[in-house]
Structures are given as structure tokens and as C-alpha cells.
Structure 1
Amino acid sequence: MAATDNVNNNSVSKPSLYLQNMDEVQKVFQRFDTNGDGMISGEELSGVISALGSGTSPEEVSRMMNEIDSDRDGFISLQEFAEFCKGDINSIGDGGVRELREAFDLYDQDSNGLISAAELHQILTRLGENCSVQDCTKMINSVDSDGDGYVSFEEFKKMMTTSK
């Protein structure tokens, strides 16, 4: 959010756990594109996944690259990344549920089946986001349908598969 947004209208944008618009997609893309060349390589993808604390095998990184790299040039462009981000998880069946579970598990640091504000804060901080635990609590509350203060896998799945 630009600093002028707060100055001009005193509103605070609602934080979210998913990518709502192209600005957010581009911001995440740039975090993956560590060398700034406009493309995400397999090494860059692997590096971000490792920073999140996941021990992904080279074969799994290769599978992810093949899934997202639609023009088969060996890199993920911003356009390919945007298409992947807006993809309908429901349309890819069991593989989509498996990928959602893998994404959920990256956030669920203590493996208790729930994402807390502290866990979300830890992951976002590792990704270079500058947000407070209170911001993360607001994000959690925005998708916490049962009001327990956590995001369960079912809530996460619903959030990720709802049309944006």
C-alpha cells in the first residue's frame, strides 16, 4: 500500500492471504525473482520454498516448474505466474487438493492443523513482508469462519478456491 493511501483518505486496505489483484501478484513475483531479471528460475523457486522451511526435492521443484511454465522456456514469466495465481484449484482435482495441503503445511509451522497469527507472521516475515502480528490477526479473522482465531485447512481451502 502506498503511503499516500493513508494520508489521502485515512483508510487501511484489508489484508488478505491470497492475491487479489495484479499489484499483489507482481509483488509476490518480484520476491521469487531474486535476481530481478523478470523471470523465475527453478533455482529461485527452490530458494523461496527453502526459505519457507520446506524441504522440497529437486524433482518436486521440476514438477512445479513444468506445471507453471506454459511456454516451456525453462522460466516462469510474470504472465505465467499470474495465470497460475488465478487458476481454479477446483478444476485440477486431487492434485489441486494435494498442492493446497502442501501450501497450508508451509504456514502450519507446528503441524497442529491450524494456522495461527504468529505462524502467519513468521512466514510473511521470512518472505520480507513488513507486517505486525496484529495485521496477521486481522488476516486470520477475515477467513476464520468458525471464530476460533485460527485458519483450518477447510477454511484455507475455501478461501483459496472461492472466486476472487
Structure 2
Amino acid sequence: MMATLQTDQLKQLKDIFMRFDMDSDGSLTQLELAALLRSLGLKPTGDQLHGLLSNMDANGNGYVEFDELVSAILPDMNEEVLINQEQLLEVFRSFDRDGNGFITAAELAGSMAKMGHPLTYRELSDMMREADTNGDGVLSFNEFANILAKSAADFLGMKVP
């Protein structure tokens, strides 16, 4: 099965894994796994997450290692998900002007203005407050991905008159 997956997809999955492996110990905790799944557009409940973790955790250590993730995700993984993740990362990098891995309010305002959508101070504050879930004043890739996924869902859920 691994041989049939293209090398670039595996590499993308590894990049995603490493981005969510916050402590870089080569395994994902339940929280890190939840964040990774949310970034792929999946929204598991606490129970589903617990079930997923125990199913994925082949060696029974309470964590998910990369190879466990690959064997669990591979059958359901479509190219689109990875392409979306890749495009999202490109957008994130274009907003992150200084390349430090975070988007500041100034970078967000500048990028929105450049795209022809200048923000008022209030809109900017509201966007930052909603997206900055850990309250550190900047947007990480995960926060950026989550807010975009949320606004896409809101947008798609809108009733068109």
C-alpha cells in the first residue's frame, strides 16, 4: 500500500505530521492529533478522537507515530486534502511577510489591503481576536487554517437569496 502512494504525498503528510508534532518527539498526543485532523477539514468529537487514537496506536504507547498515522490515514486520504493543505501553506507564507512562521495584525492588514480588501481597525481586531485562539497576539499556521476552514464553512452554509 505504501508503494502506491506517491512520494510527494508521503512527504506532504510527513510535513503536516511534523507541523503538528509540537514537541518534535516523533509522536502525536491526542491534542496534536485533533489539531492535525481539524486542519484536514475533519472535526472528530472527543469520543471519536479517543476511538481513533486507540485504533491508530498500534504499539499501545498512547501516542500516534508517523507510520501509525500513515497506515490509518492512507486508505481514506485523497490528493485533494493534501493539495488544499499545500495551497493553504502557500497563502499563509504570503501573509507571513517576515517568514517567522506567524502572521501579525500588521501583516494581516497589509495582505488584505494588497488583495483589495482593506480592513477597518475594528474588523482587524475582530479577525485577530477570533482567530488567535491561544491569545499570543499572532496567528500560527494552525490558527490561520482553522479560521479559513471555519469561514469557508460559514460561507458555504449561507443561503443565497
Asked whether the two chains share a fold, i.e. TM above 0.5, the reply is no
Greater share of helix residues, 1 or 2?
2
Which of structures 1 and 2 has the bigger CA Rg?
2
Structure-2-length-normalised TM-score: 0.43
